[in-house]
Structure 1
């Protein structure tokens, strides 16, 4: 994350980290939805996918600690959203509310 964010920061561009968090039960449920299975072939073997997520959650933290990202990346704009019970549209609205300059995002043609 540091290497990639520094590429943009050194170019005087804004960098945004949006951390989406939900509890393990919700993650397991989300991994079996029709839309998720359609877009993520690696999740289609539900037994294997569930086992992988459970093992990963034992070996690694699945979310940052409070203040950790701001301490590690003070120049990065950061937002942590607990999205366990939010619709995607609600998550998007939270991002836009917290970072209104995202609405003014433009891509320069070269």
Structure 2
């Protein structure tokens, strides 16, 4: 979300041209409606009635096709090699996300 809202000198999102992922709408909705009775708006990222994270991020992209996702809850990351950019969806992706970030940094060390 932070990168989708961060703008470049032209006023476009800094991830405008990247392939990316984020919290899928389906994941957010299941958590929100499954817990709303006893947790209120806690699991809705921006509160009841707001758009979901997937919608917010997709609007910042040049094309909706750049948003990559899966409903498989197993670890999932998206790497855009053109921009040395790696994204993940939720805490279940954290270990794979960290491993991919480390590989990216290690590849830079081989160049230097």
TM-score normalised to the size of structure 1? 0.36
**RCO (CA 8 Å, sep 6+): is it higher in 1 or 2?**
1
The structure where helix makes up a greater share of residues is: 1
Pair member with larger Rg: 1
TM-score normalized by the length of structure 2: 0.35
